[in-house]
């Protein structure tokens, strides 16, 4: 069932830039075997300071690697061209560390553009960036792809042989980064798993936490904001019960395709629900374009339209909801109509994600309408499984992720940072307390979905600056450990 469609951001080699000539201590690297990278002294202050480099140009080269289609069976002997991107502008060879970006569920170049932290840090660590796109179809194959690719690069790239590799990823890519370190500690010295919900699997965390966090974000961003969204579902039911009401709703929301029936109204409500969830993920402190172009603290802007008195009519309430939704869908003013078949940019690669959710990434979620602002929804594995079967002809294996990746029983692993934002609903399934000295949780109370992986910005809250500084400190420690235990110098 695998296709050759996987793509990625990875590493390859170009000639050294003038920068690296100015780092002579690296040439003696392996004599000492203790020194690792020539870290620039200003590293921590720059990361913690107020400088920002949002306009750092991104440059990388694209390469292809003949990757095995199936690492685990012996019948399928074919290969596919795996795309990977390399940025070695700041790489100090030999032995400079390699940051390996563990892909994501979307277009790799798009994610790469939204992961400025890698570029900021690479400059500071003298690192080579290396990343690839996930295998849509199974995380185990993707991890094996990473391992094979890194071994290949280290043996074929002059100066990379002794380079410690650190896996970095956010969201699903963060889960892959953490699991990569767990399953292949021989390949990567550590991992930064940002906003990685490795516990959002059956039986590990309460299914309602996710929507509760979304609700909290709205509750604290404006007057009665969550209460009015909670009320809006019934208002939609009321209004959509007549043909003229459906027409009014369609016009009020400037929908591309008018609602025709109460079944359409159900789809319309899920689309709105997804819209509020997406806003919670991207509630960043500065204007950003992750899922959509948005203003700073977009939920506060949305909530301005929802600060309505409890006595307003269904129509007045829904007028406010429409204005609020348009903050998300029409912030740039260039959207002719709202398309209820879309909630995010096309780069997210949702179909691939749906497939994974329908196979091994089964993530229970539920709502009760009391502790959250959504309509009550039970988690129903059977119904979910039937949907998957209808869409892809597969049924999920709900317990597999827990079996293959250890569930909550991961204390025997080491060198993984789990960072989570307090505003991010995915933190519900994340590791939010320290497990051991080297399985560390970093909390960013004012952070949304992997804010720490984004470029530094003048409007970054102190908590994310501190998180990045701590992350770099752990990177340095892992690199130091790796060099210490390297068997010998060539």
Ligand X SMILES: *[C@@H]1O[C@H](CO)[C@@H](O)[C@H](O)[C@H]1NC(C)=O
Q: Which residues of this chain interact with ligand X, rule CB under 6 A?
A: 58, 107, 109-110, 113, 231, 234-235, 238, 254, 256, 314, 326, 330, 333, 335, 337-339, 341-342, 347, 433-434, 440-443, 470
* Rounded least distance, CB 7 to ligand X, Å: 12
Cβ nearer to ligand X, comparing 361 with 467: 467
CB distance 98 to 164 below 8 Å:
yes
Cβ nearer to ligand X, comparing 129 with 143: 129
Residues 217 and 61: their CA atoms lie apart, in Å, by 39
Q: Cis before residue 94, ω within 30 degrees of 0?
A: yes
* Rounded least distance, CB 398 to ligand X, Å: 28
Give the DSSP H or E segment for 119: helix 116-125
Spell out the long-range contacts of 314-317 with Cβ–Cβ below 8 A and sequence spacing 24 or more.
314/235, 314/238, 314/239, 315/239, 315/248, 317/228, 317/231, 317/232, 317/235
Exposed, middle or buried by CB within 10 Å (0-12, 13-18, 19+), for 112? buried
* Rounded least distance, CB 470 to ligand X, Å: 6
Cβ nearer to ligand X, comparing 38 with 288: 288
Q: How far is CA 128 from the centre of its chain?
A: 21
* Rounded least distance, CB 439 to ligand X, Å: 9
CB distance 29 to 94 below 8 Å:
yes
* Rounded least distance, CB 390 to ligand X, Å: 18
231: tokens are: 């009320």
Helical H segments across 3-42, by residue range: 18-21, 29-32
* Rounded least distance, CB 70 to ligand X, Å: 29
123: tokens are: 């400059």
Give per-residue burial for 401-430: e unless 16+ CB within 10 Å, then b. Answer: bbebbbbeebeebbbbbbbbbbbbbbbbbb
Cβ nearer to ligand X, comparing 328 with 405: 328
416: tokens are: 């993984």
Residue that has been written with the tokens 């940051």 in this structure = 99
Cβ nearer to ligand X, comparing 14 with 234: 234
Cβ nearer to ligand X, comparing 16 with 289: 289
Annotated active-site positions, please? 171, 424, 449
Residues 57 and 471: their CA atoms lie apart, in Å, by 23
Cβ nearer to ligand X, comparing 119 with 384: 119
* Rounded least distance, CB 139 to ligand X, Å: 23
């Amino acid at each position: 069932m695998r296709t050759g469609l996987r793509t990625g951001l990875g590493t390859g080699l170009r000639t050294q830039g003038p920068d690296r000539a100015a780092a002579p201590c690296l040439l003696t690297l392996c004599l000492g075997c203790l020194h690792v990278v020539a870290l620039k002294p200003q590293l921590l202050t720059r990361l913690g300071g107020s400088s920002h480099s949002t306009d750092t140009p991104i440059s990388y080269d694209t390469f292809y690697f003949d990757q095995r289609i199936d690492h685990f069976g012996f019948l399928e002997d074919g290969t596919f061209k795996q795309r990977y991107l390399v940025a070695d502008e700041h790489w100090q060879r030999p032995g400079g560390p390699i940051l390996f970006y563990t892909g994501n569920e979307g277009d790799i170049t798009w994610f790469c553009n939204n992961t400025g932290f890698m570029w900021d840090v690479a400059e500071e660590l003298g690192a080579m960036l290396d990343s690839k796109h996930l295998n849509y179809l199974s995380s185990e194959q993707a991890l094996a792809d990473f391992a094979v690719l890194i071994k290949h690069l280290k043996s074929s790239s002059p100066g990379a042989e002794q380079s410690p590799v650190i896996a970095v990823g956010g969201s699903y890519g963060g889960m892959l980064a953490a699991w990569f370190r767990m399953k292949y500690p021989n390949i990567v010295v550590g991992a930064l798993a940002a906003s990685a919900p490795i516990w959002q699997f059956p039986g590990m965390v309460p299914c309602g936490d996710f929507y509760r966090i979304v609700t909290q974000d709205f509750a604290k961003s404006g007057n009665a904001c969550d209460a009015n969204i909670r009320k809006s579902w019934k208002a939609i039911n009321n209004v959509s019960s007549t043909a003229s009401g459906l027409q009014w709703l369609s016009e009020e929301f400037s929908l591309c395709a008018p609602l025709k029936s109460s079944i359409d109204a159900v789809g319309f409500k899920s689309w709105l629900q997804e819209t509020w969830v997406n806003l919670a993920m991207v509630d960043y402190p500065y204007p950003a374009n992750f899922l959509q172009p948005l203003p700073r603290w977009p939920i506060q802007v949305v909530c301005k339209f929802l600060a309505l008195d409890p006595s307003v009519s269904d129509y007045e309430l829904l007028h406010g909801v429409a204005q609020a939704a348009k903050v998300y869908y029409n912030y740039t003013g260039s959207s002719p109509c709202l398309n209820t078949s879309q909630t995010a940019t096309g780069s997210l690669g949702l179909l691939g994600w749906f497939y994974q959710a329908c196979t091994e990434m089964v993530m229970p979620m539920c709502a009760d309408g009391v502790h959250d602002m959504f309509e009550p929804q039970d988690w129903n594995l059977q119904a979910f499984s039937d949907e998957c079967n209808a869409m892809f002809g597969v049924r999920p294996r709900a317990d597999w992720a827990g079996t293959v990746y250890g569930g909550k029983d991961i204390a025997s692993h080491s060198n993984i940072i789990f960072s989570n934002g307090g505003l991010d609903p995915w933190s519900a399934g994340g590791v939010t307390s320290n497990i051991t000295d080297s399985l560390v949780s970093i909390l960013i109370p004012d952070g949304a979905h992997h804010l720490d992986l984004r470029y530094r910005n003048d409007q970054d809250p102190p908590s994310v600056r501190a998180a990045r500084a701590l992350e770099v400190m752990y990177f340095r420690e892992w690199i130091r450990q790796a060099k210490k235990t390297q068997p010998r110098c060539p």
